[in-house]
Amino acid sequence: MSNDVVILGLGYVGLPLAQEAIKAGLTVLGYDVNAKVVDSLNAGRSHVDDLSDADIAQMLAGGFRATTDETEIASAKTAVICVPTPLSADGGPDLGAVDSATRAVARNLRPGMVVILESTTYPGTTDEYVRPILEAGGLTAGTDFHLAFSPERIDPGNKQYGPHNTPKVVGGHTEACTEAAAAFYGRFVATVVRTKGTREAETAKLLENTYRHINIALVNEMAKFCHHLGIDLWDVIKAASSKPFGFQAFYPGPGVGGHCIPIDPNYLSHNVRAKLGYPFRFVELAQEINATMPAYVARRAQNILNDAGKAINGASVLLLGVTYKPNIADKRESPATPLARALAGLGAKLSFHDPYVQHWDVPGVDAIRVDDLETAVAQADLVILVQKHQQYDADHLASIAQRFFDTRGATSGDDAVRL
């Protein structure tokens, strides 16, 4: 075997993992079914926010290479599956990419290999779904090869925590599998946390994101009634945050987005319904609340214009920031998309500005990108801060806008209406 690891799936999860392994001196092969991605990486071009072209060049200089040839998987001591698991039509995870990647590994499985699934999914996937595929060729997990689950914890745009200093949770099919996977990650991750098995590791990821999902829903619900009661929720959160124990601040917003918070808790809810026959009511209620926020923001926007004697039908509305989180270009599941649909449905004429996004396509909605930020802010009937990118001086923009709706608590003065 000529490679320490092959990483299947070279996106937001797999590529940073490959970079960290390269830094530690491991020989790393990247595998992806997308030939454009592979060719781009081999040419030194990055397609993810957290890695620059210079980062890819350093990886290539360190021996990294990407391929679409699955037979090369057999050259690796460890195979890590980092493919996406979007929601399927029934609300559970779509395991199509996991199935494809697992079968590619199975066709090239060698005795002694360590196979690790990182893709977020429901508890039991590693043991009940992945293991039978791998064992179909005659090798047995825990005896002939090692099998484990280790949830990805990549937080795009986070400058403080990356693959090296974010603790790595690992749970194996057997105790020996856990130790084999832990030994692999221990070569380039500072802290490895072992669980009792694969199900515990799978559920740990779902608990992390369900915790955030539910608490975001709590403050979103509070934002609605605080508005009606004339209470400044942002000031309330600031005051509550002064308590040095027993409280963690969460903040309201126009909705939740990204590849984790709006999706992962549904895996757990779906699994509970499918296997136990009853709903996971906390998760489903949180999903209901968070999913209503774009429509709620649109209604608030309509009311702001009404208070000024203007109809939203025909009004010019400028959206600032259309990505799902600040300071990155990732638009996956961004709340700006359903917000734009809601505003367009009310007759608003939409435009947008985002320093990270040149093209934004919302089917059925015409939203023109503006380049001159200050002129566009001054001319719009209503400006809505949807994402608080570091390039936006929210107080200044609010001061020059006719009307400014701050959904992120980024303003401090009286020039803006805050969520």
Distance separating alpha carbons of residues 180 and 178, to the nearest angstrom: 6
Provide the 3-class DSSP secondary structure of residue 82: coil
The sign of the CA dihedral 67, 70, 71, 73 is positive
Distance separating alpha carbons of residues 187 and 190, to the nearest angstrom: 8
380, 401 contact by CB (below 8 A): yes
In SS3 terms, 256-322 reads as CCCCCCCCHHHHHHHHHHHHHCCCCHHHHHHHHHHHHHHHHHHHHHHHHHHHCCCCCCCCEEEEECC
Query: Quick one: tokens of 320?
Result: 């600032």
Strand partners, 8: 31, 81
| DSSP code, position 3 | E
Distance separating alpha carbons of residues 387 and 97, to the nearest angstrom: 31
Catalytic residue among 82, 177, 226, 260: 260
Distance separating alpha carbons of residues 139 and 357, to the nearest angstrom: 48
Give the count of beta carbons closer than 10 Å to the beta carbon of residue 323: 26
Distance separating alpha carbons of residues 264 and 188, to the nearest angstrom: 26
162, 16 contact by CB (below 8 A): yes
Instruction: Tell which phi-psi region holds residue 335, choosing left (phi > 0), alpha (psi between -120 and 50) or beta.
Output: alpha
Provide the 3-class DSSP secondary structure of residue 104: helix
Catalytic status, residue 260: yes
Residues marked active site are found at 260
